[in-house]
Amino acid sequence: MQSIMDESETWSRSHGTNSGPVRIRNRPKPTVHDEETEDSEEEATAAQLLHDHSTVDVIIKSDPETPPEMDSNLRIGFIGAGNMAYGIAKGVLQSGDVPSSNVKVSAPSARNFGRFQELGVAVTHSNAELVSSCDLVFVAVKPHLITTILSEITDHVTRKHIIVSVAAGVTLATLQGLLPFDTVVLRLMPNLPCLVQQGALLFSRGTWARQEDGDLLRSLLQHCGLVEEGPEAWIDIHTGLSGSGVAFVYLFAEALAEGAVKMGMPSALAHSIAAQTVLGAGQLLRDSGKHPAQLRSEVCTPGGTTIFGLHAMEQGGVRAATMTAVETATERAREMGRKSAPTATENRK
């Protein structure tokens, strides 16, 4: 634990966290220092339900201070119209700092365009057109399509651009190798709860990305949920912990509800209570600042129901299985990154 803290402190000192005015217009030359995004029909339906019926309005901020000043002329693009792009777009627009007229999304299919158009966002089928008309571009495509997409837009990327990739496993080295030399690149890993502005997002800056570029991204994403910056080595871990972790939580919630159904509770009520239990436990864990073990012990009483239930869970290997799930998902993200590495010579302008 101490080594992790030391690593975090060392990284933080070498990547300052002070925020100043954020400008990207007329940026000087930096110094060194529908498969594309299409979700399944079920995912699209779930996202629409969240869009229509979400009542979650708690906003998490990693920095309580006033966000940096933002250029009102900043133009933002999304290559890909899937759930991640939609969740981020909602959060970006929620602040009111970026008008919907300054946002555009591109995708090969119009299937998901409707929900973006409801936000007032322009749509197109041309990635090149989008990049040419935007300053900051989120590349929200499947990892195996990164090489194709970046090869398509590379001739339209200039020094004014900031490219933010949300493709799981694809490294900064790979991204920079597929784009013109000295392109400002950041790697971001969000998760599905961005759809209700309760996401957990971690980003890392590439070789030519400056502190102000990170500040700009953090400011844009502040309404999407918890936003943190860290070394790239943590991104794949975050993928296993939080990107994939939401599915682990859903599996646990499903099991909770099914246990109640087994004991005689109606299914609809059981799933509703399970969802609220997960939500309430998560909020208490976040807001109390207590270690999970401390909160768990506060629920247990000697000889009570909870300790008996926890014993059964330990016998079933829940703790070890969960740790292994995070480890396996992390390794898979790393494997995807190795597979996505370009085989051709790096692009240079």
Digit-coded pLDDT (tens) for 31-67: 433 444 444 444 444 444 444 444 333 333 344 444 4
Instruction: Place domain 16-231 in its CATH homologous superfamily.
Output: NAD(P)-binding Rossmann-like Domain (3.40.50.720)
Supply the pLDDT for residue 15.
53
Residue 21 has pLDDT above 90, yes or no: no
Supply the pLDDT for residue 11.
53
Which residue has 């989120």 as its token pair? 138
26 pLDDT tier (thresholds 50, 70, 90): very low
What is the distance between the alpha carbons of residues 125 and 109, in angstroms, rounded to a whole number?
7
Residue 22 has pLDDT above 70, yes or no: no
Supply the pLDDT for residue 329.
96
Q: Please state the rounded mean pLDDT for residues 177-186.
A: 96
* Residue bearing the bigger pLDDT, 259 or 3: 259
25 pLDDT tier (thresholds 50, 70, 90): very low
pTM given for the model: 0.78
337 pLDDT tier (thresholds 50, 70, 90): confident
18 pLDDT tier (thresholds 50, 70, 90): very low
Residue 19 has pLDDT above 70, yes or no: no
Supply the pLDDT for residue 139.
97
What is the distance between the alpha carbons of residues 166 and 84, in angstroms, rounded to a whole number?
8
176 pLDDT tier (thresholds 50, 70, 90): very high
Q: Please state the rounded mean pLDDT for residues 4-15.
A: 49
Domain ranges of the chain: 16-231, 245-333
197 pLDDT tier (thresholds 50, 70, 90): very high
Supply the pLDDT for residue 95.
82
Residue 344 has pLDDT above 80, yes or no: no
* Residue bearing the bigger pLDDT, 300 or 10: 300
Class of domain 245-333 as given by CATH: mainly alpha
What is the distance between the alpha carbons of residues 114 and 206, in angstroms, rounded to a whole number?
33
Closest CA to 168 of 341, 343, 334: 334
Across 36-40, 224-228, 256-260, least confident range: 36-40
Residue type, 12: S
Supply the pLDDT for residue 51.
44
Can you give the three-state secondary structure of the chain, one letter per residue?
Answer: CHHHHHHHHHHHHHCCCCCCCCCCCCCCCCCCCCCCCCCCHHHHHHHHHHHHHCCCCCCCCCCCCCCCCCCCCCCEEEECCCHHHHHHHHHHHHCCCCCHHHEEEECCCCCCHHHHHHCCCEEECCHHHHHHCCCEEEECCCHHHHHHHHHHHHHHCCCCCEEEECCCCCCHHHHHHHCCCCCEEEEEECCHHHHHCCEEEEEEECCCCCHHHHHHHHHHHCCCEEEEECCCHHHHHHHHHHHCHHHHHHHHHHHHHHHHHHCCCCHHHHHHHHHHHHHHHHHHHHHHCCCHHHHHHHHCCCCCHHHHHHHHHHHCCHHHHHHHHHHHHHHHHHHHHHHHCCCCCCCCC
Across 16-30, 256-270, 294-308, least confident range: 16-30
Report percent pLDDT > 70 for the chain.
77
Judge if 16-231 and 245-333 fold alike in CATH terms. no
Supply the pLDDT for residue 117.
96
Which residue has 């296993």 as its token pair? 240
231 pLDDT tier (thresholds 50, 70, 90): very high
